[in-house]
Amino acid sequence: MYWLKKELQKRISSLLSIPPEDVRFDYPPKLSMGDLSLLSAFIVGKREGKNLAKLAKDFASRLRGLPMVEEVSTAGPFINLRLNHGEFFHRLHRNRHRIEVEPKEGKNLIEHTNINPNKAAHVGHLRNAVLGDSYHRLLRKIGEEVEVQNYIDDTGVQVADVVFGLLKMRNLRPGDWDRVGEKFDHYCWDLYVEVERRMEEDPEALKERKRILKALEEGKGEYAEAGRALSRKIASLHLETMERLGIEYNLLTWESHIIALGLWAKTFRLLKERGVIRRAQEGPNSGCWVMDLEEGGEPREKVIVRSDGTATYVAKDIAYQMWKLGLQDKDFKYKIFKKYPSGRLLYTTTLEEGEPGNFGRARRVYNVIDSRQSYLQKIVKEAIRRLGYPEAAEGSVHLSYEMVALSKKSALALGFQAEGEAVSISGRKGIGIKADDLIRAVEERALQEVEKRHPELARNQKEDIARKIASAAIRYYMLKFTNNSVVLFDIEDALSFEGETGPYLQYSLVRINSIKAKAKERGMDFGPARWKEKEDYWALVHSASRLDEVLEKVRESAELSLLAKYLFSLAQAFNLFYSKYPILNEKEPEERALRFALMELVEAKLKIGTYILGIEIPERM
């Protein structure tokens, strides 16, 4: 419907001599009232103080020769358009694999995942990565230029704490880390909790933390070397975790490289020169470089550089954001970090030998960070604006989302003691479920179901199907809730083959593949489809035609739940249709050909949508 609305908008604007923005559409509450409802009389009449119903009739009388429109009628201030269903269906079917949303010019840069490289990823990180990856898939599918970065904070307090734990508490140097007896990031998960307890009890440990933090920023000495080794080892393990859900990146950027390249030093100088920050002379922030802000109507000082000279997280983020937006005159060198099975190359910034690259310099930068960081993201944007780059600041977008908790039932199934109805996450207290453990548990549950349904398959086939089902279950569940909703993840609900789940979408496409395979086995020749007016047929076409406008809404809002819910409703509509109108057993050739073409239309739209959600389709369910 998207492409037709665009065509109608131009034609109606000309016929009625009104601006294109006044040509807006909605859907009537019932298809029996029409296929599209034109709101122009309501919009223009309200603005100009005219009789709405009279204006609607006047406008309707002037709408002649509209493409694919068969009938124009009015209902009060609304103008209802009934389309030529056959013409519309054939055009839609011919172009069923095409996305007609117009791509925007300029590069999009999506930064997501960004896990501190000090311990294993937890389930909350999966929501971040899945959201960022699916938004990237959407923009790329539309035809826009997209770059995906994963920012590694390798100079932060969390890394300093685990360096302290490994070197001072466990006496483990980098050469010893492969012999800890378990996956290294999982080992560091427990160690980090011990370190936090030590920091609360031992003032000397706090002093040592400051020394380590300083060494990480300066990049020299044993602490810095251990920090580099720790960050790269754990970041590599994070990449393996995300790859299990089909998530890939274009570039790894390291905070230490931002400092070493002088990006932060230059940004710090600019912030001072242009009066964005000042040195506090008194109060609790005395000696710090602060940015004057207002929060809740009250003045507030936000520390950008601490009194000891170390930069805060938000400080380095300002420098990094400026580089991403092409506002820095320095650039990194790059080298290949790894090659994914898909063939995509993952690059990394480097301080060693490397090559020039074409990274950064984006028109729009999407930072996928949870809602707790909203205030800091506003500071980054405001700092760029105050530095004199208002247009670039507008291209800085915080893609915010809420946290993930685990249902009590799922937590208990994973061997976790749950007191309430949900288990929330606190890395410092060691509360939460590792992402690897959740993926493994869902894969195991999926494998049990596959073995029950398909005992004849080889083990590797069963495991491949289970992996795809588990990935779909997790990804869809993370996306089906609005970004501002907390996700209460439940393994059984996510894996259900019925209801609003990833496996249900897979089941629908596997069913379509099975119908097509059986048709091929029987040597069926369907011939060209001829439209036959039937309410159920048009309802399915109407539903399938809405994909493009859903994609445009998702692009503008970054609300992937809109696409998830749309795909579920389309799959549900097809399954209800198929139960009422079987295809292969239909004896009348023209009827069979039309139903087959309707199925092809739905299949094409579901495939586009499931690709964007990152859902692979298994050979069987």
How many percent of the chain have pLDDT more than 90? 87
The token duo for 535 is 């309410």
User: If you count them, how many residues does the chain have?
Assistant: 621
Pairing of β 345-350 and β 333-339 = antiparallel
pLDDT tens, 593-606?
Answer: 999 999 999 999 99
pLDDT tens, 548-585?
Answer: 999 999 999 999 999 999 999 999 999 999 999 999 99
Amino acid identity of residue 295, one-letter, is: E
Does residue 420 surpass a pLDDT of 70?
no
The radius of gyration of the chain's CA atoms, rounded to the nearest angstrom, is: 28
**List of long-range contacts for 12-15, beta carbons under 8 Å, 24+ apart:** 12/38, 12/40, 12/63, 12/66, 15/62, 15/63, 15/64
State if pTM tops 0.85.
yes
Q: How far apart are the first and last CA of the chain?
A: 32
Report, as an integer, the average pLDDT of 503-532. 94
Does residue 331 surpass a pLDDT of 80?
yes
CA–CA separation, 621 and 617 (whole Å):
9
Q: Average pLDDT over the chain, rounded to whole? A: 94
**What pLDDT shows up at residue 295?**
81
Report DSSP state, residue 395: T
**What pLDDT shows up at residue 311?**
85
Lowest mean pLDDT among 22-36, 166-180, 369-383: 22-36
Lowest mean pLDDT among 219-233, 423-437, 486-500, 543-557: 423-437
CB atoms near residue 585 (< 10 Å): 6
CB 434 within 8 A of CB 183: no
CB 423 within 8 A of CB 431: yes
Give CA torsion, residues 212, 215, 216, 219, to 10 deg: -160
**List of long-range contacts for 175-178, beta carbons under 8 Å, 24+ apart:** 177/229, 177/233
Residue 70 DSSP SS3: strand
CB 328 within 8 A of CB 270: no
**What pLDDT shows up at residue 347?**
98
**What pLDDT shows up at residue 427?**
53
pLDDT tens, 273-301?
Answer: 999 999 999 999 999 999 999 888 889 99
* pLDDT, greater one: 175 or 412: 175
Query: What string of DSSP letters covers 402-467?
Result: --EEEEHHHHHHTT---SSSEE--BTTTTBS-BHHHHHHHHHHHHHHHHHHH-TTS-HHHHHHHHH
Tokens 């060691």 belong to 430
Report, as an integer, the average pLDDT of 70-85. 95
CA–CA separation, 490 and 500 (whole Å):
13
**What pLDDT shows up at residue 419?**
66
Tokens 């400080």 belong to 315
The token duo for 571 is 């799959």
**What pLDDT shows up at residue 1?**
87
CA–CA separation, 202 and 197 (whole Å):
9
Phi then psi for 148, rounded to 5 degrees?
-115, 125
Report DSSP state, residue 169: I
The token duo for 227 is 């920090």
Instruction: Identify the structural domains of the chain with CATH numbers, from first to last.
Output: 2-83 (3.30.1360.70), 407-495 (no CATH), 502-613 (1.10.730.10)
* pLDDT, greater one: 81 or 416: 81
**What pLDDT shows up at residue 308?**
86
C-alpha distances in angstroms, 612 versus 86, 247, 549?
29, 12, 15
Report, as an integer, the average pLDDT of 163-184. 95
pLDDT tens, 107-159?
Answer: 999 999 999 999 999 999 999 999 999 999 999 999 999 999 999 999 989 99
**What pLDDT shows up at residue 122?**
92
CA–CA separation, 306 and 312 (whole Å):
7
505 CB-near residues (< 8 Å, 6+ apart): 472, 476, 567, 568, 571, 606, 609, 610, 613, 615
